[in-house]
Amino acid sequence: MENGRTTEFLKGLLIGGIVGSVVALLYAPKSGKETREDISKKTDELLVKAKDEYEARLEQSKKAYESAIQRLKELEGVARKKVEEVEEKVEELSEKGKETVAESKGRLKKAIDAGVGAFKEEKESKKKKA
């Protein structure tokens, strides 16, 4: 976007300079040689201005690019840290989940064993009664 504005500025500078030069030439009574020299000087001045402006904008663009790259590197570092934190949390939760499943399995096994034991006791007690 900045590049488009610079291009438009340079176009405006060049066109404005040309129009100004032509108007000045039309209203200034000079010989052909003097007029050509004036045109040449104005053209040179405009080219120097355009080149200076271009170089200034180019330098600004380079600085902006370098700044953006630096910021992206900083953001990459922050993102990496966040990913590591999330990985640690996931690992921690996974371990807790494994522990919870193991505890639940143990309780379920005890409950089943108790149920089987109670069933066997009831069966034995019915055999003794009969």
Residue type, 2: E
pLDDT at res. 18? 79
Buried b (16+ CB within 10 A) or exposed e, 33-70: eebeeeeeebeeebeeebeeeeeebeeeeeeeeeeeee
In the chain, the N- to C-terminal Cα span, in Å, equals 97
pLDDT at res. 79? 93
Domain that holds residue 101: 2-129
Please give the structure tokens belonging to residue 114: 């108790």
Task: Report helix, strand or coil for 126.
Answer: helix
Mean pLDDT in the chain? 84
pTM over 0.85: no
pLDDT digits (tens, 9 = 90+) for 52-94: 988 998 999 999 999 999 999 999 999 999 999 999 999 999 8
Name which of 69, 13, 84 is nearest 43 in CA terms.
Answer: 13
Number of domains in the chain: 1
pLDDT at 109 over 70: yes
